Amino acid sequence: MIANSAARGVARHTSADDQVPVRRHPPAIVTGVGRVGAVESRAALTGLRIPPLVAAAVAVACLGLPASSGARQGEGTERAAIFYYPWYSTPTKDGRWAHWYVEQGGTPTLSTPYFPSRGLYSSSNAKIVSAQMREIASTGVGTIVVSWWGFDSPENDRLLLVEQAATRNGLEVAIHVEPYRGRTPAKAAEDIARLNREGGFTDFYVYDPDRDPATEWAEALAPLHDVRIFGHTPFAGRAKASGFDGLYTYDVVTWNGALFRRLCAQAHAAGLLCAPSVGPGYDAHLATLSEVTRPRNDGLTYDRMWKTALKADADLVTITSYNEWQEGTQIEPARVAVGRASYDGAWGKNGVAAQRAYLTATTRWTERLRGLPTQ
C-alpha cells in the first residue's frame, strides 16, 4: 500500500477477492478470544484512551513489572510492530488463487518478484500461520498488525486463526483497518468498537484516512475508549485534528527515512505517538506494471531505514512488511527460483543463510530498539 498511489501510478491493494470470481466467504464474527487483560497491562505504556482513574491504577501496577531482555520467543518488544497479510489463497486449500497471480493479457501471471521459501501458501493453513508467528516472535518483534477488510472478508474469516497462533507465541495483535468497500469514518469507528468489544483488540492502524475529512474522523472516534488508533498520514496536524492517537507512514518509497526525525518531532509537539515505517525495499512491477521501485541494495536499504527511525526518537517502529509479496516489501524467507529475485548477497549471505537474512537483521535491530530509552 503506497501513499498517494494514484498520483504516482502505483496501484492500491485490493481485497483478497481480487483474483478469480469465485464463491464469497461467508461473514464471520470475531469471537471473544482476545486478551482483554492486555488493556490493563499495556495502557500505561502505550497511551490508550482510558479513564484517568484506571490509568493511574495501571501506572502504579506497572512499576513492578520486570524489564524484558533478549530477543527470545515471547519476549518481543512492544515498540516494534510488523504488517502481516492473511489474504493468500490456493486452489487446494481455498478453491481458488488469491494474491499470488494477476491477469495480464487474459493470462494468469505469477505476480511476486520473489518466491517464498514455503512455496505459494494458503493463509488458511494453520501450520503455515503457526510457523509464521514463531518466526516473527523469534525476531523480537512484539506485535503483528493484521490486514483487515471488514467483517465479511476472508481476512476476517482468518483473524481467529492468526490471533490464536500469535498468542501462543507471545505476540500482540493489532488491526490494520484497510479501505474496504463502504468504509467511512463512522463505519470504521463502529467496526473498531466491535473488534475491541468482541475480540479484545486495543491497537488499530487506519490506512489512508486522508480520503475523508478530518472533522468526520474526529467526530467518529471521539466516543471510543480503551483503544489506541494510529492514522496513516505524514501530516501531524491532520492526524491530531482527526482524533488519532498517533501516526505511521507505511509507504517505504516516498518515506525513505530522511524526514523521520522531523515527522516525529511534529507528532510529539502535537501530543501524538510516532510510528514510522521501515522496510527492505519495494517492487510491484509484476502486479501493477508500475515502474516505481526501491532497490534492496543487499540489505543496505533496510539498515538505513532502521537507523533513521531509531534516530528519530520514534515511539514505535513499524515494519513494512512481513509478507506483502506482490509489492516486494516482505522479510519472510524467500528462496532462489527461476525468473525471480532472491535475497542472495544480502549482508554477504548466500544460499540457505540468505533466505532468512532479513529476519536475522530484524532481530539485530529490535535488540537495539529495546535498548533505547522510551519517550
pLDDT grade, residue 77 (50/70/90)? confident
Mean per-residue pLDDT, 337-360: 97
With a cut of 70, say whether residue 12 has pLDDT above it: no
| DSSP-derived pairing of the beta strands 101-104 and 277-278 | unpaired
DSSP H stretches of helix in 139-184: 154-157, 159-168
Q: Which CATH architecture has domain 72-371?
A: Alpha-Beta Barrel (3.20)
Mean per-residue pLDDT, 145-168: 98
pLDDT grade, residue 255 (50/70/90)? confident
With a cut of 80, say whether residue 240 has pLDDT above it: yes
* Amino acid at residue number 50: I
The domains of the chain are located at: 38-67, 72-371
Question: Does the model's pTM come out above 0.75?
Answer: yes
Question: What CA–CA distances, in Å, run from 235 to 46, 68, 144, 249, 257?
Answer: 21, 33, 24, 10, 15
Dihedral angle over CA of 78, 86, 207, 50, nearest 10: -40
pLDDT > 70 in the chain, percent: 79
DSSP three-state, residue 84: strand
Mean per-residue pLDDT, 119-131: 98
With a cut of 60, say whether residue 50 has pLDDT above it: no
pLDDT of residue 35: 30
Mean per-residue pLDDT, 198-216: 98
- Containing 110, the helix (H) or strand (E) segment is strand 107-110
Mean per-residue pLDDT, 321-337: 98
Question: What CA–CA distances, in Å, run from 363 to 73, 80, 184, 222?
Answer: 11, 11, 37, 37
**Mean pLDDT estimate for the chain:** 84
pLDDT of residue 73: 41
| Ramachandran angles phi, psi of 203, nearest 5° | -110, 135
DSSP string, 287-323: HH----EE--GGGHHHHHHHHHHHHTT-S-EEES-SS
Mean per-residue pLDDT, 293-308: 98
